[in-house]
Amino acid sequence: MKKDEFFNLMHSIPKAELHVHEEAVLSLNTIKKVYERSFGKSISSGELSSLFKYKDLSGFLDSFIKIQSYFTDINDLKFLFEDFADYLEDNNIVYCETFFSPTSHLKKGWDFSQMIGLVSKSIEKIQKERKRTVRLIIDVSRSFGLENAMHNLDLVLKEKSPYIIGIGLGGNEAKGPAQEFISVFEKARKNGLHVVAHAGEVCGSSSVDDAIEKLGAERIGHGISSCKDDALMKKIVERRIPMEICPTSNVFTRQLVTDLRKHPVRELYDRGAVVTINTDDPAFFKVSLIEEYWNIYYKLRFKLDDIKVLIENSFTSSFAEQKEIKKYLSDFEISWQKWFAEHPSLT
């Protein structure tokens, strides 16, 4: 299938995304607008372009936090969600679980409850006007330590927002081993929250195993080092632990893979892992969800039947209610069959 045909197909069918950082869908126009509102001057083209130049994961995280620092007015969050709504619509994402990282904003003195109130209004607007569902996973982050992680969890539990469905361990994997956050994840699980963790993005397979066994992670973000450990792979496959794979992100951060054609997503899928495809940080890595699917179709030789399974996995691996998942799968199947009925030569 040619690229334009593939993109036409992908635009036509509903999809889910489970691993995308909300702040990482910012458009350049929004960054400029927020910077000017905050500092009363224009950001130079050189400084703007430097935000998207990094050699590794640490450099990327520095840029991520720097852009967060441009948001000095809590009401600027609405601009962020306007970009997010456009991203969902452009990729026909009907269900999304997005990471929200509050720590940098809390350090500015922003009130968590007020933040979530503003975010909730944006989510409701997206649901009403765009017919797309968004749920939040609050990042407790390795980068800021255990005390901060527990503080963020306590804020979540106090808030009791219907839009917050869980917590996720993000940040620099090399600087915060899973075992340091066991108490946070135990408390989250006891209080009915879902738990996920970034692991195996820059560290070895033991990091993934720790996320599963010590944190009780229900999904693994990245996890690409898993295929180097046969015992771990057996566990992942048998327990059907979903893997949130972000191909372009992994190549960009240049930790465990530097060439998309050698990305282990193919091996993970072929060995029976429940693989989902995601962007991680689309604005930072200049990639959309549809482009991620194209890349694995074109460069890693995933067949259309495989693409179909991957999209279905994204729905079934979500934390949506089962009746909602069944509806999403039904709508997806109808759209898939309809598109190919209209394009019989591409079947």
Residues forming the active site? 201
Amino acid type, 4: D
SS3 of the chain: the string is: CCHHHHHHHHHHCCEEEEEEEHHHHCCHHHHHHHHHHHHCCCCCHHHHHHCCCCCCHHHHHHHHHHHHHCCCCHHHHHHHHHHHHHHHHHCCEEEEEEEECCHHHHCCCCCHHHHHHHHHHHHHHHHHHHCCEEEEEEECCHHHHHHHHHHHHHHHHHHCCCCEEEEEECCCHHHCCHHHHHHHHHHHHHCCCEEEEEECCCCCHHHHHHHHHCCCCCEEEECHHHHHCHHHHHHHHHHCCCEEECHHHHHHHCCCCCCHHHCCHHHHHHCCCCEEECCECHHHHCCCHHHHHHHHHHHCCCCHHHHHHHHHHHHHCCCCCHHHHHHHHHHHHHHHHHHHHHCHHHC
Burial environment of residue 195 by CB neighbours within 10 A (0 to 12, 13 to 18, 19 or more): buried
Longest CA–CA separation in the chain, Å: 59
**Distance from chain centroid for Cα 284:** 13
Closest CA to 313 of 244, 251, 263: 244
